[in-house]
Each structure stands twice: as structure tokens, then as C-alpha cells.
Amino acid sequence: MKKLPILSQLALCTSLALTGFLAQAADVKGTAEAGQSKVWLCTGCHSIPDYRADYPLVYKVPMIGGQNAGYIVSALYSYKKGERKHPTMRAISGSLSDQDMADIAEYYAAQTANSPKNPLK
């Protein structure tokens, strides 16, 4: 049997590990009710119409109410892994568990673009 070069072995192991990680994350079921108490940090930017963040570049922050939950979870994982480049979102997503991400995603999926600015009232 022919041995794979070390870089190919490393790439294979990494892809298998990520596949397992994402498969495990896909099994986590979130709830909007649990997400309501977890979005306090998100609302500071994502609940302000036409909000623009100026770090690291001028960036128009999207309103995420009504967005598909799967998309939100995928985006959070991409920030966490560094595939999406925004230092604030990377730091925030890095502090979230799989359950937190699923709950937050379900909360925002249950909202609309015109949802109340303060979800904790």
C-alpha cells in the first residue's frame, strides 16, 4: 500500500475532524425561548436599522430578524473558524457553544426584520 505524504494525511485528518464536528453541531436543536436570553450582545448591532460598524472597516451590519436558522448557525461557525473575517464577530462566536448558536439562530429565525429592538422587554 502506498503511503500518503504528510500534508495529505494532515488534510485528510482535518477534514474528517471538521466533518464530525459539523455533524455533531447539526444534531443540536435550539429553541427561540432559550435564545431570547442569549441575544443581549447581538442586539447592540443587529437590531439597529442601517447601523454601520467602523472596525476594522466601515461595515453595514445586517438586520438578521427572520433569517434562516441554518444560515445563522453556519455563519457563526464560519466566524468562529476564521473563515469569515470580522474580529468582533469572531470573538463573539468563539465564546458561543453549539447550543448557544442553535438557540440564537432559532430566536432570530422566529423574528422579523421589524422585531422589537429590545427582545428582553
Domain boundaries defined on the chain:
29-109
What cell was used for 50? Answer: 442601517
> What does the alpha-carbon distance between residue 15 and residue 108 come to, in Å, rounded to a whole number?
30
Q: Does residue 121 or residue 102 have the better pLDDT?
A: 102
Instruction: Report the chain's mean pLDDT, rounded to a whole number.
Output: 81
With a cut of 80, say whether residue 11 has pLDDT above it.
Answer: no
Per the CB < 8 A criterion, the answer to whether 72 and 1 are in contact is no
Q: What is the DSSP letter of 91?
A: H
CATH number for the region 29-109 comes to 1.10.760.10
Inter-residue contact 76 to 38 (CB < 8 Å): no
| Residue range 91-112: mean pLDDT, rounded | 96
- Over residues 24-75, the pLDDT tens digits come to 556 899 999 999 999 998 988 888 888 888 766 788 888 899 999 999 999 9
Q: For cell 441575544, what's the residue? A: 39
Is the whole model's pTM more than 0.75, yes or no?
A: no
